Structure 1
Amino acid sequence: MKRAYMRSLTFLVFSGILKVCELCPSVRASRATKFVAEGGSLQLSCEVQHCGLSGWTGGWVFQESDSLKFTSLIPSERIGTSNSSSTANSTHLSLHIHNINQSDAGAYKCSINWPQKITSSGHVTYVNVTAAAADSSGRSLSHRVLLCFGALMCFSVVLGFVWCLTRDRHPPPPPVPPRTSFAAGAKPKKELVYAEVAMNKSRRQNDPPKQASEPTVYSSVRFS
């Protein structure tokens, strides 16, 4: 039991020593690739795990796209660096670049020199500078003016069209029902017309008149 306990305790102590050795001293940074538009800004950060050690130096280094060597970044009007201690064992190094141009494209990383003449570097961040975005302020203003003008014109046209439709337009009077005439609507009665044609013998001037005999009807004409 004692031997097993001693072995487990030794293993834990050895693991702790290895973990401390891995963290101190070291530089922690994420590997990434960033695309920044020309004229924009860039912000990077890394964490230096020094575990309370002093005397370390270094900071951000930069490698151009067509170069094989990293050079230290010198602060300027466009490039700014800052250090902030988050805990007693670590310090954050920040990098700010304003108004980026094509010369800022390349690789960035943190490089730290320890007192034991040991150098530690964080992961590399690759920065690609793209073409500058088109200035949308003037374009958006012109678009707004055109939209307002078009809306005003459409409103004027619609208002004039409605006015033309409603001008001097009154509802027509109700239609007058046609007058009906019973006399006009009544059908005429059919009348029977008879015609009699009678032929008498001519008589002499001196002959006395004779009693007229009944006329002979030869035809009858009917009109409808």
Structure 2
Amino acid sequence: MRLNKFISNSGICSRREADKFISMGLVKVNGKVITKMGYKIEPKDNVTFDEIKINAENLVYVLINKPKGYILSKKNQYKKNITQLINIENSSKLISLHSSNRKSTGVLFLSNDQAFVDNLKNSKNPIKKILEITLDKKLIKSDLEKIKKKIFSKSHFKRNKEIINFVSGELKNKVGVETFYKDINEIFNFFEFFGYKIITSDVSVWGPLNKKKLERGQWRFLSKDEISILKML
């Protein structure tokens, strides 16, 4: 295994950052400083970073149907920490693909594979997300049209259609959104610009991932096929 990948797999940093640390002479293999890019190590090798031994971790890829009120934090003082719901070793090292807050619910992808998450965040390919937004008041139709224009004009992927409309059978304060925006917080900002506060946002689809067969608060490991699809995005 390449040294930078080994360091990245440990959860310390991304592979790109590992290259920087290696070039700075902060990494040793069996007591010897290694600065060569592409250096390969064996399973028996002793690797240290800044004089601290590195242990490689098994990479995990998790999907959770996030409940309202929970946040992701490496600090344990939060009573409602998402990592408390995921019963695996070192769950505190999991990182999220996209930002989430106490108001958000639904599909959330987590992993301890820093390089994998970074690659997805920096992907130039359009990734579809479907979510339902609940507002603090009824949405005026004329405002909805203005918000649509804002979303369409600022879209990163002009060829992919952004869909925003009232949720059928619901009060006019619920809106369904199908978007290819990288950061769905940008969508929220458009609503807030016109005076609407976001009460909740529920993500049902993120790329190839959905919350089918997952009750609120439940989680599962991603399948090999799902991981392969994400790697191609």
Scaled by the length of structure 2, the TM-score of the pair is 0.25
Scaled by the length of structure 1, the TM-score of the pair is 0.25
Larger-Rg structure: 1
Q: Which has the higher contact order (CA 8 A, sep 6+)?
A: 2
